[in-house]
Amino acid sequence: MILYAGHPPALYKYRAPYKGVEKMAPTPIRSLILIRNTDCKVCSLLENGVVEGVFRFVKCGEKRSTHILQPSLGKGRRRLNLSGASVYKLSGGLLLIEAPSCTACRVFCNSPCVPRQAIYIPGVGVFFSLLTPGPRVAKKIIERLAAAGRTVEVVEEADMKIPRGLTKKQFNVLLAAIRTGYLNTPRECTLSELSSALGLSKSTVYRCLKTGLKKLALDALLEYEPEAFSRRLSLIHR
């Protein structure tokens, strides 16, 4: 089931299939979606009060996914028992939990998208901020989640603005890497193929990717401070 907050956005209009990097949309799409009936095992810990905290990082995989949680002060100190999962305590009080992949993680890891942020609110569901190459891809991801039995609500969607400090070349290289599947797991193209499509040397593409991703990460940390984002979403969905 797919639900929309307000009128269905223009994000879900079909477009002709893309053929080649140069014919893609000028900017990627950033979608904020809510999965109400998540089957994430880590979220079940948060729902049942076994641990309280926020996601700092989620790495989606086909079979297993890695989650880094920052427990609330004084919470999450007891031993966690989660079937099929491995739990590690990191410096700074962080918890690294490797668990069997949920439906969302499996869909994301097999789609040309980058999950930028995950927020779980007990009694509401899990929010994902996704970066996709365009509306057609975003629509397919949401349809795949719904087909797998997830109740998905589209909360917000917008074109992604070029982050501050990111050069035009770095932006173009990162965008091409997303669109060609270079950043997917497993990769759908090689560094040589990506550099050939862009008309740049492999060393230049690698340097732009490394520097650009670092700038993107720093920009995301400033824009999506997890606790503040969690409070804002909890107010919206009370």
Q: Give the model confidence (pLDDT) of 168-181 as tens digits.
A: 899 999 999 998 99
* Beta carbons within 8 Å of 236's beta carbon, 6+ residues apart: 155
pLDDT tens-digit map of 208-220: 999 998 887 776 6
Instruction: For 48-66, write each residue's pLDDT tens digit.
Output: 877 778 888 899 999 999 9
- Count CB-CB contacts under 10 A for residue 81: 9
The rounded distance, in Å, linking the Cα atoms of 13 and 15 is 7
The pair of structure tokens assigned to 137 is 């891809």
pLDDT of residue 230: 52
Side-by-side strand order, sheet with 29-35: 2-4, 152-159, 29-35, 125-132, 114-121
Residue 92 dihedral angles phi and psi, to the nearest 5°: 80, 10
Which position has the higher pLDDT, 89 or 81? 89
Closest CA to 184 of 130, 114, 129: 114
Read off the amino acid at residue 123.
Answer: G
* pTM for this prediction: 0.59
Which segments of 57-134 does DSSP mark as H helices, in order? 103-109
CA nearest 220: which of 56, 70, 81, 83?
56
DSSP element (H, E) containing 179? helix 168-179
CA 225 – CA 220 distance, rounded (Å) = 8
